[in-house]
Structure 1
Amino acid sequence: MNPSERDPAARGRLTALLCVLVVLWPLLRLAEFQPAALFDPANLKTIGAFLGTFLPPETGGDFLVLLWGATLDTLAIATAGIAGAWVIAIPLALLLTRSLSVSRLEGGGGWPGRVVRAGARLITLVLRGVPELVWALVFVRIFGLGPAAGVAALTVTYGGMLAKVYAEILESTDQRPVRALLASGAGRLPALTYGLLPTASDELISYTVYRWECAVRASVVMGFVGAGGLGQLMDQSMKMLNGGEASAILMTFLLLVMAADALSRALRRSLA
């Protein structure tokens, strides 16, 4: 190859790739990850026999009624969970964002503002640091089996996630409109409301819609611990070794995720 046609960054990329492989290989060994086990003849036979029970999917009237109800529960869990998370995320994001802190808006500052932000940061870390599946186990003990536990788990976990990302979005938003409004004599709160939030609203809404899409998937997983929806129905079918019902639930879940993804793309496109 002509030296002038060589990629000057090729050596750096190759070095980075080798470093990743050197680090990744011990981690895979530590995790006992063995892809060859999937192609073992005995394992392939077991997998084939298991998948064979999935056909044909269950289409009985009574089961379809249960499936429809579980699908509505899944959508309700995801939507209500995001709505609750939104209520938690807004005040936490306002406290986390330095430019939006109450002390700064009122012209104060110092250690009280730092203490408040540190407390809000700790709360956010606890909320999002514990997986929603663990929160679901906790709330199942409180509310019992059903969608209420799933809604509470999503509200807590996604409230922390939304608060963190909202704060990062607001911190990275252009501050010039706010400064212009302040320079023209507007108060701090009107400058914040009309100068900063309109600029960041598209990104905030886009991320919220994405999190709703993730909540649809998470609500199904939480159903396996009794939080209602398609996951709980799938767990019951698997325990009864009813592959036809399991495949019907799986296809419904895939269609639901596809619909959520299409809706998410449409909303993002309309906001662009």
Structure 2
Amino acid sequence: MNPRTGSFPANPSQDAVDERDDGKERLPTDLNQEPPGGGRAAVRYRRSKTRWLVLVIAIAAVVWSLDGTGVSFASLIEGWDNAREILAGLFPPQTDEELLRSVGKAVVETLQISIAALFFGTVMGLLLALLMAGNIGAPKWISLPARWVATVFRSVPELLWALVFVAAVGLGPAAGVYAISLHAAGLLAKLVSEQLEAVDVAPVEAVRLTGATRLATAVLAIVPQARNNIASLVLYQWECNIRSSAIIGFVGAGGIGQALGISMRLFRYEELATLMIALLLLVLVVDQISRFLRRRMGAATR
């Protein structure tokens, strides 16, 4: 008798069906049927198998790369005598007045290169990022070329850009500014566009429902949410510009890197040590300024 209807079921197995309908999992009556939870176990097994496969491939890639590049402790031991000779030549650093005056001039030039390149790179990078971000909604005939341009800018290293501009405008810091600006613009375009696309969609949709245009939606709902992260990226790019200016100086693009290249080619190791210390101090100062500005913007720095 069915307790809910007060009648006998037409089918003798109705009670059993009702009991199975109470929402509880029971072992299957068919031995060939997969037990409850078997699907989840299979998924976990496949995921575990995939992780082990990825780990094996990664280890094999590292071993293959080390073998192909000839990296080993033996090579370091063989080159220790040359390294010791260079390190010994770095001490004590040269500190005569004329050298310090020239080092100070190179440091100032490096700082100028980094700031000017940051300005041009940020302007171009933010413009490209606004055109690239999917939630901004720029037409494809604009967003796709912007993405291609940003890819070209960041794919070419600053050193190669510096060679191009040294050949175009001649030796000096102007070539360094142009070279770093293009690479910084491509990098910022990618990173900033990803920050714009990662914002909360609720405020964006709320502004769009008011009938706001794409530009107004970007200015009022998208950019304000990503503002702090964008500022942090720009400040980090400034630190990168300092280091990049030291590298492109080796090809005559001005700054402290150019002085470093001359000292290394002439084997003036004591002068080289002074330049390296000056570059280190410059990077540390810029890092502290960056941390201070990020702290003022609410970043959790210590």
Q: TM-score, normalised by structure 1?
A: 0.86
Kindly state the Cα deviation for residue 54 of structure 1 after the two structures are TM-superposed: 1.1
Residue 38 in 1 paired to residue 64 in 2? Answer: no
The answer for the alignment partner of 1:270 in structure 2 is 296
Contact 2:111 2:242 in 1 (8 A): yes
**2:60 partner letter:** V
Q: Which residue of 1 aligns with 2:126?
A: 90
Shift of 1:11: 9.3
Indicate conservation of the 8 Å contact 1:88/1:159, yes or no: yes
Q: Which residue does the alignment assign to 1:170?
A: 196
Provide the rounded CA distance (Å) in 2 between the counterparts of 1:48 and 1:159: 40
Of 196, 210, 226, 2:222 maps to 196
The residue correspondences of 1:97-246 to structure 2 (distance < 5 A) are 97-102=133-138, 113-184=139-210, 186-246=212-272
Give the number of the structure whose alpha-carbon radius of gyration is greater.
2
Partners of 1:217 and 1:147 lie apart in 2 by 14
Query: In the TM superposition, what whole-angstrom CA distance separates every residue of 1:184-224 from its partner, at most 9, and x where no partner exists?
Result: 45554333212221111001111111111111101101111
Paired residue type of 1:243: Y
- Amino acid of the structure 2 residue aligned with 1:44: W
* Unaligned ranges ≥5, structure 1: 1-8, 103-112
Indicate whether 1:247 and 2:291 are aligned: no
Q: Deviations over 1:73-106 (max 9, x none)?
A: 111111110100112112211211122234xxxx
In structure 2, how many angstroms separate the alpha carbons of the residues matched to 1:185 and 1:116? 23
Letter aligned with residue 111 of structure 2: L
Distance 1:192 1:13 in 2: 40
1:35-74 per-position Cα deviation (integer Å, ceiling 9, x unaligned): 321113xx32222122211111111111111000000111
Paired residue secondary structure (2:135): helix
C-alpha offsets along residues 133-158 of structure 1, whole Å, 9 cap, x if unaligned? 00000001112111001100011111
| Partner residue in 1 for 2:88 | 52
The alpha-carbon deviation at position 10 of structure 1 amounts to 9.8
Query: What corresponds to 1:110 in structure 2?
Result: none
Structure with more relative contact order (C-alpha pairs < 8 Å, separation 6 or more): 1
Q: Does the Cα contact within 8 Å between 2:136 and 2:214 map onto a contact in 1?
A: no
2:95 match: secondary structure: coil
Is the 1:94–1:101 contact (alpha carbons within 8 Å) kept by the matching residues of 2?
no
Q: Secondary structure at the residue paired with 1:98?
A: coil
Q: Distance in 1 between matches of 2:67 and 2:215?
A: 55
AA matched with 1:236 = I
Which whole-Å CA distance do the structure 1 matches of 2:58 and 2:218 have between them? Answer: 44
